[in-house]
Structure 1
Amino acid sequence: MPLINVIIPAYNEEKSIAKVIKAIPPGLVAEVIVVNNNSTDATASVAAEAGATVLHEPNAGYGNACLKAIDYVAAKSAATQPDIIVFLDGDFSDFPEEMPKLVQPILQKDADLVIGSRALGQREYGAMMPQQIFGNWLATTLLKWMYKARFTDLGPFRAIKLQTLLDLDMRDRTYGWTVEMQAKAARKRIKYAEVPVSYRRRIGTSKVSGTVKGTLMAGYKIIFTIFKYV
């Protein structure tokens, strides 16, 4: 069985992070890595108590947190280095128990990157704000036009082979992380797939879609990233 590590970037998720960790299917994952992204609450201690390895990234930004975890994983010995990385949000909006179907296309050698699509799955009413739904549609439409990529979502719940991830040479440090991965994968003709995933209202307020500033900054960065790698 391939080794799987889970990476969870987390900023002020003390109320949800333990629920996320405990919902990960037992026996499937070798290590859960929570990156405490400059939280001002008890996210780090709650995550550690729930059994996760906690890394600290003081520089704010989703991409910064992911890059911190990738450096940690890449430095592991050959015996403990994972074959597959699963990215998961720390707000309990994703369903970690759906992880087996997320990694299945990789295990079957049908894909090297799998996106959990909220657009194809069951979404609780109000789980995604209208600006998120529109932003996903716009971004995936641009990816189709400019990269010939048929994605339906930029969902954060995703699985990728570690070597594929390293080959993508990820750079974005903030809001463009997810779309950078998909744009580069399309450009490099990496085999990808989507699977329907469920999505519910997050615990707490979104730091991105929950504010006008966050929404505008994320939208700008996503569109900029799509054009950057065309």
Structure 2
Amino acid sequence: MNKLQIKEYFNKISNERDKWRRRNSYYHKDIQFLLSFLIPRQSKVLDVGCSTGDVLASIHTNVGKGIDFSPAMVAVAKSKYPSLNFEVMDVENLELNEKYDYIILSDVIGFLNDVQGTFQGLHKVSHNKTKVIITCCSQFWEPALKLFGKLHLKMRQPIQNWLSRGDIENILYLAGFEVIKKGERLLCPKYIPLISTFLNNVVAKLPLIRRLCLVNYFIARPKTGNQITSIPAATVSVIIPARNEKGNIEDAIKRVPKMGEHTEIVFVEGHSTDETLQEMERVKIAYPNVDIKILVQDGKGKGDAVRKGFDAACGDILMILDADLTVRPEELPKFYQAITNGAGEFINGSRLVYQLENDSMRTLNIAGNKFFSLMFSWLLDQRIKDTLCGTKVLRKENYEKIKKGREFFGDFDPFGDFDLLFGAAKLNLKIIDLPIRYQARSYGITNISRFKHGWLLLKMVLFAMRKIKFV
């Protein structure tokens, strides 16, 4: 669902919201208790996604403000709590000039279009001692909550992003926040006399078992000092390997943003049969103000094309963008920011955080990606959620080091993804996942053979065990 559809949904159910809150009062009262416990009295509080106002009203705040992008929800909140300050506002386009001591996002992040951008925007309303408190439901409970909705045991909700604990911490890090405390609550979200209290106050606190709780919460603060340092602007080369992608070439030119001091686009054509090369030559003439290089790869496979593009690139920063544009070119500035501010040295796109568009990734592809992400996180001792996302970014000086050490692993990767990941890990580069929204291709068909390449990747994992892990 897009943002407009989500807003319409919340407007529609605004008059029913409190009825469902009463039916599940045990859950909502526990969230309110947690927030009241964490937030000192007389703090200045901003409640993001305030709904009908109950959370803000439950906190003993000196100055409080609730914002929500649903006008109907805000109208209900104002009628219930006329002495409190509520305003219609989209947190993804925050327009506030005040600073707050505590910022609450309770059951909100699953409905955001751009979680990283939202977190970054919170700096505008934060001072150096601000605490951001996030509560959300655990991924583990997703099937049960969907079932409860169908059985009318809870309010049915639109499709949302189910972010893992690691996803949330990683996005906070990318957005310039550090997690200082985290925890879990509610093993039993319904009230059962004596049993609920025992399960939630005793059993839910035990190691391992606490991971089964419904609610995850995080307390974060703005990063301080030199934890992420600024690096001067750099030049950028965007490498676009393309085979039978004629219909996407001009779109790529139009949509790749200008980044840093200068941005060049390097097309690497892979022996297409649909006049992709001719289209590249046409757009180079049609867009004289864009720095475009056109190469034709000598060998086969995306890995070969990427290496040829990297060798010809002039930029300080190298970016890979797949020509199918299933990763939006408009996302590239996030990668630029992450590598220039020192958040990471190898920025790896992750398609497996946000809810996927219909048909954007087939079920077997998703399963394969998740399997290989677990394997490679273990192999490389760094968190890697999506090994096969085509968008990867690193500095050219580090690529040259990877290239020099390539003989250690051998040239056996047709994709290019694992050649770079292995090399980055061998150099002890800091690898960071950057969540992106993955969309269905609008032109052509995928060039990936799931079973053939899946078998190759499995052999690659076994090879990497010998080369990296068991040494």
TM-score by length of 1: 0.87
CA offsets, 1:97-150, max 9 Å, x none? 111111211110221110111112342121011121111111111112222221
- Matched with 1:78 is none
Equivalent-residue separation in structure 2 for 1:193 and 1:34 (angstroms): 26
Residue aligned with 1:167, SS? helix
1:225/1:180 CA distance change after superposition, 3 Å: farther
Provide the identity percentage.
26
1:31/1:190 CA distance change after superposition, 3 Å: same
- Matched with 1:226 is 461
- Matched with 1:23 is 255
- Matched with 1:191 is 430
1:173/1:54 CA distance change after superposition, 3 Å: farther
- Matched with 1:177 is 416
- Matched with 1:156 is 390
1:84 to 317, 340, 343: 317
Residue aligned with 1:125, SS? coil
Equivalent-residue separation in structure 1 for 2:280 and 2:354 (angstroms): 28
Equivalent-residue separation in structure 2 for 1:96 and 1:173 (angstroms): 29
2:297 to 57, 63, 71: 57
Residue aligned with 2:267, SS? strand
Residue aligned with 2:394, SS? strand
Post-superposition offset of 1:18: 1.5
Equivalent-residue separation in structure 2 for 1:94 and 1:15 (angstroms): 16
- Matched with 2:81 is none
Gap regions ≥5 residues in structure 2: 1-232, 285-291
Gap regions ≥5 residues in structure 1: 74-80, 209-213
Question: What are the within-5 Å matches in structure 2 for residues 1-230 of structure 1?
Answer: 1-26=233-258, 28=260, 29-51=262-284, 52-73=292-313, 81-154=314-387, 155-169=389-403, 170=406, 172=411, 175-202=414-441, 203-208=443-448, 214-229=449-464, 230=468
- Matched with 1:76 is none
Post-superposition offset of 1:42: 1.5
Post-superposition offset of 1:151: 0.5
Decide whether the 8 Å contact of 2:259 with 2:336 is kept in 1. no
Post-superposition offset of 1:173: 6.4
Decide whether the 8 Å contact of 1:4 with 1:84 is kept in 2. yes
Decide whether the 8 Å contact of 2:244 with 2:444 is kept in 1. no
Equivalent-residue separation in structure 1 for 2:281 and 2:340 (angstroms): 29
Q: Counterpart of 2:299 in structure 1: which amino acid?
A: N
Equivalent-residue separation in structure 2 for 1:226 and 1:72 (angstroms): 30
Post-superposition offset of 1:91: 0.9
* Structure with bigger gyration radius: 2
1:176/1:223 CA distance change after superposition, 3 Å: farther
Structure with greater contact order relative to length (CA < 8 Å, sep ≥ 6) = 1
Q: Counterpart of 2:451 in structure 1: which amino acid?
A: L
Q: Counterpart of 2:366 in structure 1: which amino acid?
A: I
Post-superposition offset of 1:60: 2.0
Equivalent-residue separation in structure 2 for 1:173 and 1:44 (angstroms): 27
TM-score by length of 2: 0.44
- RMSD, aligned CA: 1.8
Decide whether the 8 Å contact of 1:38 with 1:59 is kept in 2. no
Equivalent-residue separation in structure 2 for 1:148 and 1:58 (angstroms): 35
Residue aligned with 2:246, SS? coil
